[in-house]
C-alpha cells in the first residue's frame, strides 16, 4: 500500500511532468490563436503566446482526481470547485482571445465563486456568531477579490510561480502535520507541481509562453479554496499570512487608484512589483524577493499553527505585515 507521503510526491511529480508535456504540445496552437502583443501596460517586448494556464489547470485537476480516486466521496465533494475552475478558465480564455466587457466578465466570475461558496456544507463555518448566509456573502466577496488579485499580480515572468509554489508547498507541509484535510493537501500538491512544470517555459528574459487569464483566474480560485480550508480548520492567521504579499500589493494598489479617481477596472502598471522594474530592478530580482518573502511568511504561518495562540497570531501577523511593508517600500524606491 502506498503511503500518504509517497502519494503527495507522486502527485507533485505527475503534475509537473504532465503540465510540461501539455504546455509544449499547446505552444503552436497558442501562438496561432492567443498571442499577447506588447502595449504600454505590458512587461514583455515581443509578441508571446498566452494560455499555458490550460496545461496547469488540466494537470492539476487530473492528478488530484486520480490521487483521490475517481469514486472517492472526497472527490465528489470537489465537483463544484472543479466545475467552477473549468468555467472560470473558459471565461479567462475568451477574455484572452477577445476581451470581454468588465461587467459580464465580473458577473461570470461571481457566479463561479458563488457556486463554490454556497455549495459548501453547512457545518463549515468560521464564525459561529454570524448568520451562515452572511458569512457566505463575505466569503463570496473575498473569494471574488482573491481570484482577481491573483490575475492582477500575474504581470511578470515567474511571478505566479514565486507566489504559488511556496504557498502550495507550505499547505502540503501543514497538511502532513494535520492542519489541512487530505483533499486540500493533494490539490495543493498537484497545483504546486503543475506550476513547477510551467516554470521552465516562463523564465524571465526568455519566456516562451504566459499563463493568460485562462490560468490566473482558476489558479486564484483553487488556491483561495485551499487557504479557506486552512482557515476553516481554525488557522485563520496562517491562511492570511501565506498570501499576505499578494493581498497587500493588490489591495493597496486598488485603493490608491480609487483615491486618484483612476479607472481601476482597466489594466495598468501601478502595482508595486511593476513599479520596481520601472525603477531599475530586474524581473529576476523582483520575483526572487517575492519568493523569499513568501518563504518567510510560510515560516510565520507554520509558527502560528504550531503555537495555537491568539497573542502569538497577533504578533506573527504584525511581523508578517512588517516584512511585506519593507518589501513594498523597497519596490517603491530607487536603489542607491
Is it the case that residue 334 has pLDDT exceeding 70?
no
* pLDDT average, residue stretch 282-310: 96
> Would you place residue 142 in the very low, low, confident or very high pLDDT band (cuts 50, 70, 90)?
very high
**Is 0.75 topped by the overall pTM?**
yes
Tally the residues of the chain: 336
Run of H or E residues at 35: strand 35-36
Residue 38 has pLDDT above 80, yes or no: no
Q: What is the arithmetic mean of pLDDT over 237-262?
A: 92
Number of C-beta neighbours around residue 246 at 10 A: 25
CB 302 within 8 A of CB 311: no
User: DSSP code of 204?
Assistant: T
Q: Which residue has the higher pLDDT, 155 or 237?
A: 237
The Cα–Cα gap between 15 and 62 comes to: 8
What is the arithmetic mean of pLDDT over 206-229? 94
Instruction: Select the more confidently predicted residue: 105 or 127.
Output: 105
283 and 156 in contact (C-beta within 8 Å)?
A: yes
Given this model, what pLDDT does residue 6 score? 86
Decide if 167 contacts 298 (C-beta within 8 A): yes
CA distances 171 to 71, 164, 217, Å, are 24, 11, 20
Amino acid at each position: 500500500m502506498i503511503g500518504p507521503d509517497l502519494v503527495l510526491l507522486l502527485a507533485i511529480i505527475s503534475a509537473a511532468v504532465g503540465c510540461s508535456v501539455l504546455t509544449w504540445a499547446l505552444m503552436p496552437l497558442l501562438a496561432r490563436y492567443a498571442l499577447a502583443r506588447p502595449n504600454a501596460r505590458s512587461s514583455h517586448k515581443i509578441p508571446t503566446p498566452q494560455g499555458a494556464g490550460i496545461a496547469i489547470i488540466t494537470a492539476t485537476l487530473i492528478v488530484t482526481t486520480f490521487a483521490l480516486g475517481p469514486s472517492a466521496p472526497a472527490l465528489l465533494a470537489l465537483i463544484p470547485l472543479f466545475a467552477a475552475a473549468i468555467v472560470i478558465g473558459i471565461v479567462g480564455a475568451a477574455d484572452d482571445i477577445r476581451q470581454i466587457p468588465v461587467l459580464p466578465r465580473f458577473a461570470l466570475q461571481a457566479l463561479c465563486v458563488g457556486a463554490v461558496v454556497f455549495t459548501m456544507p453547512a457545518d463549515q463555518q468560521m464564525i459561529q456568531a454570524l448568520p451562515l448566509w452572511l458569512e457566505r456573502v463575505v466569503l463570496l466577496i473575498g473569494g471574488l477579490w482573491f481570484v482577481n488579485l491573483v490575475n492582477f499580480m500575474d504581470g511578470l515572468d515567474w511571478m505566479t510561480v514565486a507566489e504559488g509554489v511556496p504557498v502550495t508547498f507550505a499547505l502540503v507541509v501543514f497538511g502532513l502535520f494535520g492542519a489541512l484535510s487530505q483533499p486540500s493537501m493533494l490539490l495543493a500538491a498537484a497545483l504546486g507541481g503543475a506550476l513547477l512544470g510551467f516554470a521552465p517555459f516562463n523564465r524571465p528574459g526568455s519566456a516562451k509562453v504566459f499563463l493568460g487569464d485562462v490560468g490566473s483566474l482558476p489558479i486564484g480560485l483553487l488556491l483561495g479554496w485551499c487557504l479557506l480550508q486552512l482557515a476553516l480548520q481554525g488557522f485563520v492567521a496562517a491562511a492570511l499570512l501565506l498570501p499576505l504579499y499578494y493581498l497587500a500589493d493588490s489591495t493597496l494598489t486598488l485603493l490608491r487608484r480609487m483615491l486618484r479617481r483612476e479607472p481601476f477596472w482597466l489594466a495598468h502598471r501601478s502595482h508595486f512589483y511593476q513599479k520596481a522594474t520601472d525603477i531599475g530592478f530586474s524581473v529576476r530580482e523582483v520575483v526572487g524577493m517575492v519568493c523569499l518573502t513568501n518563504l518567510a511568511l510560510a515560516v510565520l504561518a507554520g509558527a502560528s499553527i504550531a503555537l495555537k495562540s491568539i497573542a502569538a497570531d497577533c504578533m506573527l501577523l504584525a511581523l508578517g505585515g512588517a516584512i511585506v511593508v519593507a518589501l513594498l517600500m523597497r519596490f517603491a524606491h530607487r536603489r542607491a
